[in-house]
Amino acid sequence: MAEMMYREALNRALFEEMRRDPSVFIMGENIGERGGSYKVTEGLIKEFGPERVIDTPLAEATFTNAAVGAALVGTRPIVEILFVDFTTLPMDALVNQAAKYKFMSGGQGQVPMVLRTQGGAGNGLAAQHSQSLEALFYHIPGLKLVMPSTPYDAYGLLLSAIRDDAPTIFIEHKLLYMTKGEVPEEEYVVPMGEADVKREGEDVTLVTYSYMTLKCLEAAELLEKEGISVEVVDLRTLKPLDEETILESARKTGRVIIVHEACKRGGIGGDIAAMIMENAYDDLDGPVSRVCGLDTPVPYNLELEKVCVPTVEDIAEAVIKIT
């Protein structure tokens, strides 16, 4: 095992896939000589050149549409959009074209593309650069949605996403890029649609994903000192969703809290809660609850920003409340 940062694991995955498959190329703003604003694409242009590492103008709708067209004719484009907030610009390309093409062509065509972006609050980047918009894509049939929390998962899931024939939205949290973890030196893939029980527990299940996984694990450590055993289920991929693992954990502990940074109203947690209640109601000791972000734009002020997203203390208090 080699210890590396989350962004380094992504960088390694891009290098390996571009070496393995000449049909893979990447396009986005400042991804070439600059190596991307978060250094995920650093060094790629030196090895693969500007024909496969394409610096684009500030025109997300245009180059995402170009990627859809490129995927239709047999390549495997990777689009990098700097902030998930900016994915609202190419929504037509993603929602009406990429997501629908296989269905509308009767399975004769496919759009094997990955859109990489980053989301979430942190570092005081204000309301237009701090959103958690995964629910927009979760709602769309035909799209896959990946949100890894560790370097191990980021590497293995990016390989899976690039090799998959479906259009995939791959969201990286801005506060995860510098986190470290062990990554095997040999190539491996993490299958989409398989959640990971990051911590075994008996009393309460925390269902979560992305950066909130780290906060849930920290809360579980604190609660262990209080004699409360917490299980942490990291979804890793939201579409496809591993309902089996969620339900198995819910039936095991009898108490479930869903934790995500996105605001509660219309969030993914509500859909997962309904799924649990529909399939494991008789096994629960109480209703499924949620710990989510506030229904407000994220402020620029760092102290106000912290109030808008779940904290370790918020998660721990929610667990104590239901035990």
Residues carrying an active site annotation: 60, 129
Residues 6+ apart with CB under 8 A from 131: 84, 85, 119, 120, 298
Distance CA 197, CA 79 (A): 30
Structure tokens at 121: 């609050």
Element (H, E) at 78: strand 76-81
Element housing 7 (H / E): helix 6-20
Rounded-to-integer distance, Cα 220 and Cα 210, Å: 16
Distances (CA, A) of 84 to 89, 122, 129, 211: 10, 13, 8, 15
Residues 6+ apart with CB under 8 A from 73: none
DSSP code of 282?
G
